[in-house]
Homo-oligomer: A and B are copies of this chain.
C-alpha cells in the first residue's frame, strides 16, 4: 500500500503545483495549447485506434454488452469529434478573470469579486474514452489542473489519449504536471485519491451509482455528483394536447438511455381521457412499454399496472410509467416524493399553474412547454459541459466552464484601516 500511496501522492502533488502556475496562464496561451492538443489527436489517430483495439479485445473476452462495447469503440469520426471538441472549447470565453461584481464600500474600498480556477480537479470515470479529452479540454480552459482516473475497461485508450494531450500541452508551454493520468487500475487507487484533500480541490465522479455513492460517502474532498435522473412531464388540464404529445414523445424516445429522458408521465384527470389514447398511439409506434396507475388502466386497458417501485425507477429504456393526478399540486407532490431533482416539465397554457410548478418543483431544471431532453450544457448555451450536477452545492444542473471556477475578492484601498 505504501507504494500506491506514494504513487498517487506524487501525481496529485505535481498537479497541485502545476495548478498554481496554470491559474496565471493567459487565455491565448491556453487556447494555443488546446489547438495543439486537438491537432495531435488527429495526427496520432492510428495509434489511438490501435490502443483502442486492445481494449475492445478485452471487452469481447470479458463479455461486455454490445452497448458498452459500442461506447468504448473509437473510430476516425469519433477521434475527429474529440479534436473538434477541444477546438470548440478553445473558442469559448475564458471565465478566469471575469468580474462577477464590482462595488465601492462605505469605507471607500473598491471590491471586485473575480473568477479564479478551483485548482485541481480529479475526474474518476468509467467507460467512454472521449471523456478523457472532453474533461481535459474544459479543465485546462478554466485554468484547473486535472487528475484523470478512468476505468480499467478503457485503460489503453485513455492512456494513449492522455499521453498525447499531456505531451502537446507541455510542448505548447503549459505548466508541467497540469494533466495527470493514473495508469494503475487497482481499485485501491480511488480510495487513495479521495483522501488527498491537501492536493485535490474537487472530485467529479462519472459512472454508475455504486462508484458515485462510494466516493460521496468516503471522500473528505468536495464532490460534484451526477445523480440519476427520474424526470417527469406533467400534462396539465390546460395543456395544448398536440404540444403535450410531441413533448412527451420526444422526452421519452429521442434518446431513452440518458439522464434527462422522461421516466414518468403525470396527467391531470380532466385531460387524461383525450390525451392518453393519443399519446398511446405514438408510444406504440415507438414500441414504448407503458406501466400505468389504476386510473390509467381504466383508459388504456391493455397496459401493465405500475408497481410502487416504478415511481422511483430510472428505466433508461423505452419504458414509461403513467399516473393520473387530480391537480397541479398533486403533480408537484408526486415529483417531490419520487423525483431526483434533475429535470421536470409542465405542459400547460395556464399561467398560474405554470408559475406554481416552476416555483414549486425543486429540480435543477424546470420546464414549461418543452422537452426535458434540453438539460445539457450545449443546449443551455454553455458551449460544452463536464456533466450535470444533481446537487445544490457549488453548481447545479449542466456544468460548463464557469461552473469549474471559484472566485476571490480583490480589494483596493488608499491606506484604509478598520476602526
Contacts and interface: CB of A to CB of B under 8 A. Distances in A.
A331 to B, nearest CB: 15
A393 B406 contact: yes
Interface in A345-401: 358-360, 362-371, 373-375, 379-381, 391-394, 396-398
Q: Which of A240, A366, A367, A417 has the largest count of B CB atoms less than 10 A from its CB?
A: A417
Contact of A397 (B201, B249, B380, B408): B408
A386 B314 CA distance: 38
A61 interface: no
B217 A20 contact: no
Nearest to A216: B220
B105 A417 contact: no
A216 B369 CA distance: 42
Number of copies: 2
A24 interface: yes
A218 B408 CA distance: 27
Interface in A68-118: 103, 105-107, 109, 111, 116, 118
14 contacts: A116-B392, A118-B392, A119-B392, A201-B392, A216-B220, A243-B415, A246-B417, A358-B412, A362-B408, A365-B411, A371-B417, A371-B418, A374-B411, A397-B409
A63 interface: no
Given A240-B415, A246-B415, A379-B105, A366 B409 contact: yes
A409 B392 contact: no
Q: Which 5 A-B pairs have CB atoms at the shortest separation, nearest pair first?
A: A370-B413, A250-B417, A392-B406, A243-B415, A373-B418
Interface in A214-231: 216-218, 220, 222
Contacts of A410: 358, 366, 368
A342 to B, nearest CB: 11
Contact of A415 (B24, B369, B394): B369
Contacts of A380: 105, 111, 409
Given A24-B359, A249-B417, 7 more contacts: A246-B415, A366-B410, A367-B411, A367-B413, A368-B410, A368-B412, A370-B413
Interface of A: 20, 23-24, 103, 105-107, 109, 111, 116, 118-119, 197, 201-202, 216-218, 220, 222, 240, 243, 246-247, 249-251, 254, 336, 358-360, 362-371, 373-375, 379-381, 391-394, 396-398, 406-418
Contact of A394 (B116, B394, B411): B394
A366 B408 contact: yes
Contacts of A249: 417
A197 B412 CA distance: 40
A244 to B, nearest CB: 9
A381 B417 contact: no
